[in-house]
Amino acid sequence: MQLLLDLHPDQYPLEGFRRKQLLEWVFVQGVGGFEAMTNLPGPVRADLSAKFRLNPFREIETVRSSDGSAKYLFTLLDGRQMEAVYMPYLDRKTVCVSTMVGCPARCAFCATGAMGFGRNLTPGEIVGQVLAVAGGEGISPREIRNLVFMGMGEAMLNYEHTMVAARILLHPQALGMSKRRITLSTVGIAKGIRRLAEEDDLGIKLAISLHAPDEETRQKIIPTGAANSIEEIMAAARDYQDVTGRRVTMEYTMLRGINDHLWQAELLAERLRGLVSHVNLIPMNPWEGSGFESSTEGQIQAFYDALQDRGVDVSVRRSRGKDAGAACGQLALKRPAGLAAAL
Ligand code: SF4
């Protein structure tokens, strides 16, 4: 049976006023089934139920953190599992969604990378995470104003489905999000970065998980990163900026004794010269068996100062949901019957 959320809103099965009603039920009211759509005639609801499925998940488990964030573990219809994180910042409710089950990028510090690749998520399975999180939080899906494609998976390697999902998120009759409030994170797929620059109607923001300014360190951290050298990634980032005029965010996970040396801060500043960018330093969220530790507060501060002294726009992102296993993949990895078993 087809998943309704896999369709772009303009392709929804009803016409005119009825389509508008259907869209309101799904994206404003956030109902989980066609039967609840009481202003649609009974035969229309029965027809929709016979042809489409609304909920992409078999099961949803929530783990709440003391800081107010929540991790959602979804069991898909095929039994595979993936996650999303809800972060209720004061002025903006944010959801971090997955684009894949597992991930082929295999970043050494990442729990998802340790699982390997399961499969790509469909557009409906990506958008469905937002609807399910809203349902779990007791809010309208429209109240979620910020979205990051930073959960499990490398979005650029599930490009088509991620773009359809982004168009659904932006569609005024669906979630109606602002393009300035959606960020796509990539480990640095140069071809994907250039492709994204050409998506004129989207205008979503780009974040590059650079994590190291030198090839040797980067290839230790991201073994698959060799496919795109740092030079190639930086060239793609510059092309992206030339086409879109948008600032690029550089994500930099702080790993003790690996990528937090001052010479690396200097090299990073050099790499970024001429690019309008913002560097996010992210203390690593440690997980059992990773073999990595987060840099100390002192090292992070020194790295921050070295970048700032060289004119780099930089901030430190504080991880949320540490007690809920919020680093991507941590929750699924803990469950033997979960993702690892489904791969
Ligand atoms: S950090 Fe992101 S890109 Fe790297 S393995 Fe984890 S999910 Fe994949």
Q: What angle do CA 211, 213, 217 make, to 5 degrees?
A: 70
Torsion of CA 90, 255, 220, 81, to 10 degrees: -40
Q: Which of 96, 137, 251, 328 is catalytic?
A: 328
DSSP notation for 74-89:
EEETTS-EEEEEEEEE
Is there a catalytic annotation at residue 96? no
Is there a catalytic annotation at residue 328? yes
Q: How confident is the model at residue 240, as a pLDDT?
A: 96
Q: What angle do CA 170, 173, 177 make, to 5 degrees?
A: 30
- The SS3 of residue 95 is strand
Q: Considering the entire predicted model, what is its pTM?
A: 0.91
User: Domains along the chain?
Assistant: 1-53 (1.10.150.530), 56-342 (3.20.20.70)
Pocket test for ligand 1, best of 98, 228, 328, 333 (most atoms within 8 A of CB): 328
- The SS3 of residue 192 is helix
Distance (angstroms) between ligand 1 centre and the Cα of 56 equals 23
Instruction: Give me 278's structure tokens.
Output: 């913002």
Q: How confident is the model at residue 101, as a pLDDT?
A: 97
Pocket test for ligand 1, best of 82, 110, 156 (most atoms within 8 A of CB): 110
Print pLDDT tens along the chain (343 aa). Answer: 999 999 999 999 999 999 999 999 999 999 989 999 999 999 999 999 999 999 999 999 999 998 889 999 999 999 999 999 999 976 789 999 999 999 999 898 888 888 889 999 999 999 999 999 999 999 999 999 999 999 999 999 999 999 999 999 999 999 999 999 999 999 999 999 999 999 978 899 999 999 999 999 999 999 887 679 999 999 999 999 999 999 999 999 999 999 999 999 999 999 999 999 999 999 998 887 788 999 999 999 999 999 999 999 999 987 665 565 555 555 555 543 333 222 2
Distance (angstroms) between ligand 1 centre and the Cα of 63 equals 21
